[in-house]
Chains A and B, each alone.
Chain A
Amino acid sequence: MEFGEIIFYIIVFLALYVQVFLFITFITKRRELFHSEKKLPKSYPSIGMIVPCWNEERSVERTILSLLCLNYPKDRLHIYVVDDGSTDGTWAAMKKFENFSQVYIFRKENGGKHTALNFALEKIETDLVSSIDADTILECDALLTVVNFLEEKREVSAVGCTVLIGNPKTPTEKAQSIEYQMFAFSKKMLGLISGVLVAPGAFSVFKREALKSVGGWVAGHSLEDLELTFRLQKNGFKVNHCHGAIAHTKAPNSIKKLFTQRLRWGYGFLKNIHDYRGMILNKKMGNLGLFTIPMSIIAYITLVFVFIYSWQRMAFLAYDKIVALKLIGWDSLIAGGIRLDWFFINTQAISFISILLFFSILVSIFLGRKISGSKGGWYNVIWYFLIYSFTQPIWIMKSIYKYLFAKKVLWR
């Protein structure tokens, strides 16, 4: 075997290792997943829910309404909506809630999402603090589920929740709906081994003292949620995942917008990993350092390799066909048909492993759908593979490029 081939096999081995690790986690801990009896918590801690807004006039109203609908004692639930210097009608939309006793609205100069979150955190006295994106809608029992979860796991200081795509319409949204369902699986598995990568900004709940003691949010290379999750865990606070609490978020509806979002994620991810590189393979960080972060990096590299490998093969195949077509004419296609002999099926070890990896993705999606209770829309898997196989490796490569050459990525 030559050098390049060995590297390739090592990467594939690691990718397979990650999948096996997640499935073994699922098999050994599946009992913790499906005890879904609804019950009320013993006590109701007070909670302040922060909704930072920047030019969200279209969605902020629905988000606040969904928070007002939450099953939770009214005097214990406070909603802090912060307009981070929007230039559209966001403030006007927020003002409609002026007379709601639970809703507090603020307006400040633009300074970025983390400043809006901290602005509200300063004013909050509640036991729990939650952050919700202004384009996200919570299911009505989401908060009760989280409070129950925190009651059972007293050692946990922060909880990330399941985020799904609400009402996907365009192919890009449909593709993402499948991806988010798959995330629901891997995130839960990481939660079960105390190795959560990120408590998502879309909907997460924190104990206020923990959040205060680490100093609230910072910019975190436009990925303040990932940075905060790292910082909390570095300071010894436990982060977990509560799969029963579900939020529906709005996804970028076109490939171009998705690309911008993922470029921000990819760049922010690499930058934060760089900042917290001391956690990589650090035994003190538990499964986060030993598994989650290395796994995320492997996933990144694998995708680039798979991209180069499969596109190179496709290009060769297409080239051969075109050459044959030019030389022989249409007969060449028929002659190719005769050669559909098992002999010409690729039986290299790598092709068996690729098939296995492909199926492991399908199984992850299936389990993620079960865990998050998603129904219908299986056929969106086609959109997922179609769109992601083309675009994902490109934004990964581009974010690696941006990371290496330290260019700023603006997400707004």
Chain B
Amino acid sequence: MIDWKKYLIVFLITLGIFGAAFLLSNYFNDRKVQKLEDIYQRIATNVLSTETKFSLLRFASCEDIVSDTTFENELTRELGDMARRVKYMESQLGVNNEDVLLVKTQYSLLQIKDYLLVRELAARCKEKVSVILYFHDLDCEDCSRQSLVLDEISELYPKVRVYWLDRSLETPAMQTISRVFSIKETPAIVIEGKTYTGFKTVAELEEILLKEKLIKKTEPSSEVKEVKKK
């Protein structure tokens, strides 16, 4: 009386649909990880350019070094973009996903390297560099708000480079740089070697940047327009 075959067939079909959904999901997630790797490659190229510039200093003087600001501003954007995407992927695939963790580790190391090179370069050529080190963490309450603020800062001031450092990565380099700037809690921001702990608004950060003469006292909106013209 009971059609057991039907119950089984329906079970297999349902299983098939489930399987297909998981396969489809895997396919898209792989493409997303691929996208992360693409951005990583672009960041790597950019950092390589900084490195080359540094090496060139052995033969050339500071004045002779030609900078490509558009290219460098590109890096700022890529870093912000990368941080956003990594965060999203962590929310989707879990924080322990190996692919995402690998990309995150790699690009964090690159950021530290770039930061050191840029500072050296600036010190040798006696220039000011507009860089912000931003330490965040996976489970810190104010970090998502702080990330939004830093997104806005890099949007308003493309010349100010933000390095997004995830302190939950336990690489030796991350631990060292945390110790150097005595970072004990997140969110923390390092500007011109000074550490600011706790949440900072856009206005507060602008004030600090102004004080350190890293941005000019013009209306931010005009700068944005300039960028758009380019």
Residues of A within 8 A of B (CB): 13, 16-17, 20-21, 24, 193, 283, 286-287, 290, 320, 323-324, 327-328, 331-332, 335, 339, 343-344, 346-350, 352-353, 356
Contacts and interface: CB of A to CB of B under 8 A. Distances in A.
27 contacts: A13-B14, A16-B14, A16-B17, A20-B17, A21-B6, A24-B6, A193-B3, A287-B2, A323-B145, A324-B148, A327-B149, A327-B201, A331-B152, A331-B155, A335-B155, A343-B32, A344-B88, A347-B32, A348-B92, A349-B21, A349-B22, A349-B25, A350-B21, A353-B17, A353-B18, A356-B17, A356-B21
Contact of B2 (A20, A290, A356): A290
Given A21-B10, A290-B2, A347-B25, A327 B32 contact: no
A216 B36 CA distance: 69
A252 to B, nearest CB: 35
Given A327-B149, A339-B84, A344-B88, A290 B18 contact: no
Contacts of B7: 21, 290
B124 interface: no
Given A290-B2, A335-B151, A353-B21, A328 B202 contact: yes
Contacts of A343: 32, 35, 85, 88
Contacts of B2: 283, 286-287, 290
Contact of B10 (A20, A286, A356): A20
Contacts of B22: 349
Nearest to B25: A349
B29 interface: yes
A320 to B, nearest CB: 8
User: Counting chain A CB atoms within 10 Å of each CB, which of B18, B22, B145 scores highest?
Assistant: B18
Contacts of A349: 18, 21-22, 24-25
Interface of B: 1-3, 6-7, 9-11, 13-14, 17-18, 21-22, 24-25, 28-29, 32, 35, 84-85, 88, 92, 144-145, 148-149, 151-152, 155, 201-202
B207 to A, nearest CB: 16
A320 B7 CA distance: 44
A348 B25 CA distance: 5
A25 B168 CA distance: 53
A333 to B, nearest CB: 12
Contacts of A287: 2
Q: Tell me the dominant secondary structure on chain A's binding face.
A: helix
Contacts of B201: 327
Contacts of B84: 339
Contacts of A290: 2, 7
Given A320-B144, A339-B84, A353-B17, 16 more contacts: A17-B10, A17-B14, A20-B10, A20-B17, A21-B10, A24-B6, A287-B2, A323-B144, A323-B145, A323-B148, A327-B148, A327-B149, A332-B148, A347-B25, A347-B32, A348-B92
Contacts of B92: 346-348
A24 B21 contact: no
Contacts of B9: 24
Contacts of B10: 17, 20-21, 24
A348 B88 CA distance: 12
Nearest to A14: B14
Contact of A352 (B6, B11, B21, B152): B21
A328 B6 CA distance: 57
A182 to B, nearest CB: 20
Contacts of B144: 320, 323
Contacts of B32: 343, 347
A13 to B, nearest CB: 6
A327 B6 contact: no
A327 B88 contact: no
A332 B9 CA distance: 50
A41 to B, nearest CB: 28
Nearest to B6: A24
A175 B11 CA distance: 32
A384 to B, nearest CB: 24
Contacts of A353: 17-18, 21
B221 to A, nearest CB: 10
A198 B164 CA distance: 61
Nearest to B17: A16
> Nearest 6 A-B pairs (CB), nearest first?
A347-B28, A349-B25, A352-B21, A349-B21, A349-B22, A17-B14
Contacts of B149: 327-328
B93 to A, nearest CB: 8
A280 B24 CA distance: 36
